[in-house]
Every structure is written in structure tokens, then in C-alpha cells.
Amino acid sequence: VAARLRGRPPVRTLIARTHTGVDVVGGGNFMDDLLRLAGGQNVIQSGDNSYPTIDREMLVSLNPDVILQIVPGAAPQEIEQAMAFWPTVGQVSAVRNGRVHVLTDSYLLLPGYSVGRIAELLADKLHPQNAEKDQR
């Protein structure tokens, strides 16, 4: 994944880890590492293995270009509620440009043997041009 994305500028990304949209993935953990590998840059710089909660004011000031909302195994009603939140922060670049992706695969927050698949999936969402080129 890293070799494929070499030379591409990192995409400023926020990873939300629940359906609320304000519980996020901070720095110094495997998701942060995978994000970097997949050509992203975590807009939450703080912490060592941190999973902080932020508010809408901070979310707008961070202004990520892509938001990955990871809700493994979420029921449809949770996804619906998750999607209802984003229009309230319409100033955020990712929301304005339609780059909020809700991912529900069960392995996404598990630091196990699926890390390769997770990195591939993140890379596809962050760099869709590359994903299309690969498919061709």
C-alpha cells in the first residue's frame, strides 16, 4: 500500500470511531499508523494511544478533507443517526465535498491479522484515483 501511494500528498483525515461522530481516533495507536501508511494524516495530533472525544467547534477548526466514520457492525438505525450529524458541521471540507465515508466492516477497529485489508480500504477511500487506476 505504501509503495503504491509513494509521492502522493497525505490527505488530512479524521477517523470517527462511534456513530456520534465526535468520538475519534487520536495519535499513537495502530489506526493512526495504518492511516499514515494509507496516505493519510491524522488531524488529531495529540496523545499516545489516545481515543479522545471532541466537539463540533474543534471539528470545524480541524477541518479534515476526509472523514472516515468507522462503526463496526452498526445497525441501520445507528448509521442513519450517524449520517444525520454531519450536515450540522457543513463548514467542514469533508462534509462540503461529500467525502464522509461510513465503514461498517467488523474487523476495522481490531489490531489483528486484517490490518493489511484495513490499510487497503483506507487507501481506497483516501485516494480514490489510485483505486480506480488499480482496477483498470
Partner 1 sequence: VKPWTPARLVKTLLASAGVWAVLAGACLMVGSTGGFGWPNRAALGFRLDVVLLASLVGAGLSSAGVVFQAILRNPLAEPYLLGVSSGATLSAYLWHLPFMTGWLTLGALGSIGEPLFAFGGAVATILIVFFLASRRGRLEPVTLLLVGVIVNAITGSIFLLINSMPWIRDPATPGGSLRFLVGGLQTNLTWHQIWPAAVLIGVAWVALLWFSGQLNAALLSEAEAESLGVRIHRLRWIGLVLASLMTASAVAVSGPIGFIGLVCPHVGRLLVGNDQRRLLPLATALGAGLLAVADAISRALSRPGAAETILPVGVLTGLLGGPFFLMLLWRSRHRALEGG
Give the whole-angstrom CA distance, residue 58 versus residue 28: 20
What is the SS3 assignment for 93? helix
Helix (H) or strand (E) holding 100: strand 100-103
Number of residues that bind partner 1 (CB under 8 A): 38
Q: Which of 2, 49, 75, 128 binds partner 1 (CB under 8 A)?
A: 75
Contact string (CB under 8 A) for partner 1, positions 9-28, x = contact: --------xxxxxxx--x--
Please give the residues from 97 up to 126 whose contact with partner 1 meets the rule CB under 8 A: 106, 109-110
Contact status: 129 vs partner 1 (CB under 8 A): no
73/98 with CB nearer partner 1: 73
Tell the burial category of 106 from Cβ atoms under 10 Å away from its Cβ (0-12, 13-18, 19+): exposed
Q: Which residues contact 46 (CB under 8 A, 6 or more apart)?
A: 26, 27, 52
Contact status: 80 vs partner 1 (CB under 8 A): yes
Contact between 67 and 17 under an 8 Å Cβ cutoff? The reply is no
Window of 7-15, 32-40, 79-87, 115-123 that interacts with partner 1 by CB under 8 A = 79-87
- The residues facing 103 across adjacent strands are 70
Contact status: 127 vs partner 1 (CB under 8 A): no
Task: By CB under 8 A, name the binding residues for partner 1.
Answer: 17-23, 26, 45-47, 50, 52-58, 60-61, 71-78, 80-81, 84-85, 88, 91, 106, 109-110
